[in-house]
Amino acid sequence: MQSRPRIPEATVARLAVYLRVLSGLADGGRGTVSSGELASAAGVNPAGLRKDLSHLGPCGTRGVGYEVATLRDRIAGVLGMETAHACVLVGLGNLGSALAGYGGFGSRGFEFVGLFDASPARVGQEVGGRVVRPMEELDEVVTATRATIGVIATPAEVAQGVCDRLTSAGVRSILNFAPVALTAPAGVDVRQVDLSVELQVLAFLDKQRGPATTVLAPAGGMA
Amino acid sequence: MQSRPRIPEATVARLAVYLRVLSGLADGGRGTVSSGELASAAGVNPAGLRKDLSHLGPCGTRGVGYEVATLRDRIAGVLGMETAHACVLVGLGNLGSALAGYGGFGSRGFEFVGLFDASPARVGQEVGGRVVRPMEELDEVVTATRATIGVIATPAEVAQGVCDRLTSAGVRSILNFAPVALTAPAGVDVRQVDLSVELQVLAFLDKQRGPATTVLAPAGGMA
DNA sequence: AACCGCTTGTGAACGCAGGAACAAAGTCCC
DNA sequence: GGGACTTTGTTCCTGCGTTCACAAGCGGTT
């Protein structure tokens, strides 16, 4: 049976959300939760949540619900959070600095073991409790720390070059914030996060919903 | 109205990517592009790109390709970028400051007309060329500027309260970076961006792909 | 000990997105 | 002027994700 033959990627993303909610409930001393309540807190459909959870085997008690601590540990195990993940971050402009100082990563088992920037002005500065290192040390740090995840927060022009250096150093997973499509060798997984795309989708939905949907506007014909 | 009954949301997100690539090509003086080249630059399948573009009517020349400037303007029009969009940003911690200073928004027609923070220590400071204002002025600024988009970059605990204030002030679209599921009244569109979720998906894929997939294996040539 | 309500887990149908193959059309060359 | 090549636009199909609805199981109660 191998309780994890394959889990859909969309489900994995939601599991991470459930995990966050469960952690909050556990901190609040909550013992059990129902799928309805958990789904409401996560912003998804209750049936979908149960289906997501079914991918990791039966982990609830019928008539009662899910044991918060148990389910949390189970999800954490499936997501590979038993062991901490070493990450390197390249590019410490505004966005990179924000990522380096973002507490949401460290509390989830992701640790930045190296911060890198090509600009001599940034090298040596301290960001988020770590010292920024020059690009020349990237390969060495990745090898020494066995970092598997690389985060790119550089300008678009140099992102591909950084990607190449990361992959050749041994990084197998890349999270790219630069607005370019990266090409990486097979076996390396790249995830793209484009902040401005999200805004543009919002703008489109707003336009589509009503070119003149003022809440007032009783009279026909806008100007 | 007839030419745009509805465009799938996934297509809209990709249109934003095509638009970025086309802008770069236009700046380079490029006259026409084929779907293959454009798809390669955007990181998608050529057939899928043509299907996406088909939603906005025929806009290419068979045997030649797409006229860069024309297609760019067409997409920009569909995405509602003819007119600039006024946005307000709440929460100027590390992430909020990065967003306020991110050039990728302004160059795409999104302007932050108001930066807000609850902390008196941040009010009055200048971030990204704008002065941070107290939360009390939020309603007034939204009304005066007719801002339609609100960006939340606050801690999770206060995000729902900020969402309520934004919606009651008249904001119809919300981009939420806080790691909580927001509930908003009908007619208000909320998009969630969770940075740590992306990392966790990467960690899972890495774990699933192979607990010990070393890339080296120099001995024994691969045929 | 048996009944009843509540909740999980699963099976099936619907809709959507993605990919591949084919026809239409326009241009370049001879 | 005609043929052939190139490239778009469309259509079909396969697979996935999502949702609804029902059966199975456990706890509490009388």
Rounded distance in angstroms from the CA atom of residue A217 to the C1' atom of nucleotide D8:
42
What is the reported pLDDT for A216? 41
Computed over every residue of chain B, the mean pLDDT equals 90
Chain B residue closest to A21 (CA)? B180
Element (H, E) at B119: none
Tell me if chain A has a CB within 8 Å of the CB of B155: no
What is the reported pLDDT for B47? 94
Write down all domains in chain B, each with its CATH number in brackets: 9-79 (1.10.10.10), 85-195 (3.40.50.720)
What is the reported pLDDT for B6? 80
Q: Which residues of A touch B203 (CB under 8 A)?
A: 79-81, 85, 109-110, 149, 173
What is the reported pLDDT for A21? 96
pLDDT tens, position by position, for chain A (223 residues)? 344 468 999 999 999 999 999 999 999 999 999 999 999 999 999 999 999 999 998 999 999 999 999 999 999 999 988 889 999 999 999 899 999 998 889 888 999 999 999 999 999 999 999 999 999 999 999 999 999 999 999 999 999 999 999 999 999 999 999 999 999 998 899 999 998 999 999 999 888 876 554 444 344 444 3
The model's pLDDT over B170-210, given as tens digits with 9 standing for 90+, comes to: 999 999 999 999 999 988 999 999 989 999 999 998 888 76
Higher-pLDDT residue of B110 and A223 is: B110
Q: Which parts of chain A fold into alpha helices (H)? A: 9-27, 35-42, 46-54, 68-78, 94-100, 103-106, 138-145, 156-169, 195-209
List the binding residues of B for NAD(+): 91-96
Max distance between CA atoms of chain B, in angstroms, equals 71
Rounded distance in angstroms from the CA atom of residue B94 to the C1' atom of nucleotide C4:
55
Shortest Cα distance from A201 to chain B (angstroms)? Answer: 6
Write out residues 110-129 of B within 8 Å (CB-CB) of A.
110
- Selected residue of A56, A97, A200 to mutate for chain B interface (largest B Cβ count, 10 A): A200
Q: E strands of B105-167, at which residues? A: 110-117, 126-127, 130-134, 149-152
B101 touches strand D (CB under 7 A): no
What is the reported pLDDT for A207? 87
Look at A102 and B200 and tell me if their CB atoms are within 8 Å: no
**Length of chain B counted residue by residue:** 223
Element (H, E) at B145: helix B138-145
Percent share of chain B, pLDDT over 90: 79
Tell me if chain A has a CB within 8 Å of the CB of B175: yes
Please compute the mean of the pLDDT values over residues B24-30 and round it to a whole number. 94
Question: Cα separation of A154 and A163, whole Å?
Answer: 10
> Which token pair is B203?
């960690």
Question: In the complex, which nucleotide's C1' lies nearest to the CA atom of residue B36?
Answer: D7
Shortest Cα distance from B180 to chain A (angstroms)? Answer: 8
Annotated binding residue at A210? Answer: no
Q: Tell me the angle at which helices B9-27 and B46-54 cross, rounded to the nearest 10 degrees.
A: 100
Measured from the Cβ of residue A206, the count of other Cβ atoms closer than 10 Å reads 18
Element (H, E) at A151: strand A149-152
Please compute the mean of the pLDDT values over residues B24-37 and round it to a whole number. 94
Q: Which residues, in sequence order, are CB contacts of B155 under 8 Å at separation 6+? A: B91, B93, B178
What is the reported pLDDT for B75? 95
**pTM of this structure:** 0.90
For residue B135, the 8-state DSSP code is G
What are B179-183's contacts with CB under 8 Å, separation 24+? Answer: B179/A20, B179/A104, B180/B156, B181/A17, B181/A41, B181/A42, B181/A43, B182/A43, B182/B152, B183/A43
B175 touches strand D (CB under 7 A): no
Annotated binding residue at A94? Answer: yes
Question: Cα separation of B145 and B163, whole Å?
Answer: 18
Tell me if chain B has a CB within 8 Å of the CB of A46: no
CA dist list (Å): B187 to B8, B168, B174: 18, 12, 11
Confidence of residue B107 (pLDDT cuts 50, 70, 90): confident
Annotated binding residue at A93? Answer: yes
Question: Cα separation of B87 and B83, whole Å?
Answer: 13
